[in-house]
């Protein structure tokens, strides 16, 4: 599919080019390959075209497409479409293919989550093979609103309310950057029309068995009907405010850890806890979460109850078994955490 031209969209196209370029200057290193995740849908195709329009960025681009094999011939057609577009643009492309059976076998939660994990594993692996410092995705402002709502419904707390970050590490050497996070879906559609950017429609985006599609097609329209179109900007403001709050809490938690950590190895932590016993309970729990982040310990099975029990252990002697094979024990003013 190719969008229809509308002269009124030209200002949007120019603005997005400027936004994309400014964001990349802020988010990614000034040289080296850039991996661009391309599904063939309108969002990723707009990102690819915005990048290749800039002469200094064009030689750095390497497209990546994940064929999940979930839609049979339609998935193969998507891969062929992306391959054809990249060939016309003279942009190198790497395609990874998996199957629905493989995704089902590796799925510990939803199939949607399994597909997402497979995609990011592929993008990271390709980035490391090409010595690329950054992977670029086409997540935009509407995606951010859906993520905030998704996290709110999951009960992920303040950290979840900040939604997606403009940049985050995929590994010690590779970052994930989202240069279009400030652009709306409507702006991307206008840009595609102005620049005659070809794209495909993925029928799975209409499948209401996926929670994100229900948020997009059912909950967001309902919220807009109740509160008006300003609900999008309200959710984005909430995301930004939550991000500021989490940044402040991280700084406070890091200061506490720096002052009171006595030993820190990949599998063992000793922490002086007597000075922490007068710490604000919310900050104390956040400091525990921050410690897990810094240790790169698994947090998926750590619930709010686990964090509270760990904070309680800091304030009173005892021992505790935590998910991920971590044993916690407090005694004589010290907290010992050992990962088995």
Residues 340, 338: Cα–Cα separation, whole Å? 6
pLDDT tens digits, one per residue of 43-86: 999 999 999 998 989 999 999 999 876 667 888 899 999 999 99
- Helix H, strand E, coil C: the string for 137-162 is CCCCHHHHHHHHHHHHHHCCHHHHHC
pLDDT tens digits, one per residue of 188-223: 999 999 999 999 987 777 778 778 889 998 999 999
**DSSP assigned state of 127:** H
Instruction: Classify 29 in phi/psi space as left (phi over 0), alpha (psi -120 to 50) or beta.
Output: beta
Q: Do 301 and 241 contact (CB within 8 A), yes or no?
A: no
Q: Tell me what pLDDT residue 323 has.
A: 93
Q: Tell me what pLDDT residue 5 has.
A: 47
Q: What is the enclosing helix (H) or strand (E) of 327?
A: strand 326-331
CA of residue 227 relative to chain centroid, distance: 27
Q: Do 68 and 98 contact (CB within 8 A), yes or no?
A: yes
Which among 302, 292, 335 has a CA at the least distance from the CA of 316? 335
**DSSP assigned state of 219:** I
Which among 158, 163, 151, 133 has a CA at the least distance from the CA of 290? 158
Exposed / middle / buried, residue 105 (Cβ in 10 Å: 0-12, 13-18, 19+): exposed
List, in sequence order, every residue forming a beta bridge with 66; answer none if it has no partner.
96
Q: Tell me what pLDDT residue 180 has.
A: 95
CA of residue 228 relative to chain centroid, distance: 27
Residues 142, 158: Cα–Cα separation, whole Å? 19
Which among 104, 76, 183 has a CA at the least distance from the CA of 137? 183
CATH placement of domain 7-229 = 3.40.50.620
The single residue listed with the structure tokens 């750095």 is: 60
Residues 321, 338: Cα–Cα separation, whole Å? 10
Helix axes 231-260, 220-227, angle to 10 degrees: 110
Q: What is the enclosing helix (H) or strand (E) of 287?
A: helix 281-295
Q: Tell me what pLDDT residue 103 has.
A: 62
List, in sequence order, every residue forming a beta bridge with 327; answer none if it has no partner.
321, 338
Q: Which residues contact 306 (CB under 8 A, 6 or more apart)?
A: 322, 323
Same CATH topology for 7-229 and 247-339: the answer is no
Q: Tell me what pLDDT residue 258 has.
A: 95
Q: Where are the domains of the chain?
A: 7-229, 247-339
DSSP per residue, 202-217: -GGGG-TTSHHHHIII
Quote the tokens at residue 317: 């002697």
Q: What is the pLDDT along the chain (340 residues), one digit of tens a residue?
A: 655 545 445 688 888 989 888 998 888 888 899 999 999 999 999 999 999 998 989 999 999 999 876 667 888 899 999 999 999 999 999 999 886 666 666 555 566 777 788 899 999 999 999 999 899 999 999 999 999 999 998 888 898 999 999 999 999 899 999 999 999 999 999 999 999 999 998 777 777 877 888 999 899 999 999 988 889 999 999 999 999 999 999 999 999 999 999 999 999 999 999 999 999 999 999 999 999 999 999 888 899 999 999 999 999 999 999 999 999 999 999 999 999 9
Q: Tell me what pLDDT residue 105 has.
A: 63
| 247-339 placed in CATH 3.30.465.60 | yes
Q: Tell me what pLDDT residue 183 has.
A: 93
The single residue listed with the structure tokens 């304030």 is: 315
């Amino acid at each position: 599919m190719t969008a229809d031209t509308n002269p009124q969209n030209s200002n949007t196209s120019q603005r997005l080019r400027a936004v994309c370029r400014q964001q990349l200057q802020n988010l990614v290193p000034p040289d080296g390959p850039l991996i661009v995740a391309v599904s063939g849908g309108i969002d990723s195709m707009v990102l690819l075209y915005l990048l290749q329009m800039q002469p200094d960025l064009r030689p750095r681009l390497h497209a990546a497409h994940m064929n999940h094999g979930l839609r049979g011939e339609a998935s193969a057609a998507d891969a062929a479409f992306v391959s054809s577009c990249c060939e016309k643009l003279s942009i190198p492309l790497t395609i990874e293919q998996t199957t629905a059976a493989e995704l089902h076998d590796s799925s510990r939660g939803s199939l949607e989550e399994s597909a997402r994990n497979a995609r990011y594993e592929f993008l990271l692996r390709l980035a490391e093979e090409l010595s690329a410092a950054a992977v670029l995705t086409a997540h935009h402002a509407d995606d951010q609103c859906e993520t905030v709502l998704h996290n709110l419904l999951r009960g992920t707390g303040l950290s979840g309310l900040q939604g997606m970050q403009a940049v985050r590490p995929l590994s010690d050497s590779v970052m994930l950057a989202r240069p279009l996070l400030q652009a709306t879906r409507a702006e991307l559609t206008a840009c595609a029309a102005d620049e005659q950017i070809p794209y495909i429609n993925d029928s799975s985006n209409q499948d209401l068995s996926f929670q994100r599609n229900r948020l997009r097609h059912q909950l967001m329209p309902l919220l807009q009907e109740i509160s008006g179109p300003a609900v999008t900007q309200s959710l984005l403001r909430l995301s930004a405010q939550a991000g500021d709050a989490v940044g402040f809490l991280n700084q406070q938690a890091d200061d506490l850890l720096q002052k009171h950590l006595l030993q820190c190895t990949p599998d063992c932590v000793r922490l002086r806890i007597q000075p922490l016993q007068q710490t604000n309970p919310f900050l104390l729990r956040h400091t525990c979460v921050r410690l897990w982040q810094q240790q790169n310990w698994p947090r998926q099975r750590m619930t709010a109850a686990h964090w509270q029990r760990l904070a309680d252990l800091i304030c009173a002697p005892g021992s505790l078994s935590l998910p991920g094979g971590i044993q916690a024990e407090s005694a004589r003013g010290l907290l010992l955490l050992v990962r088995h």
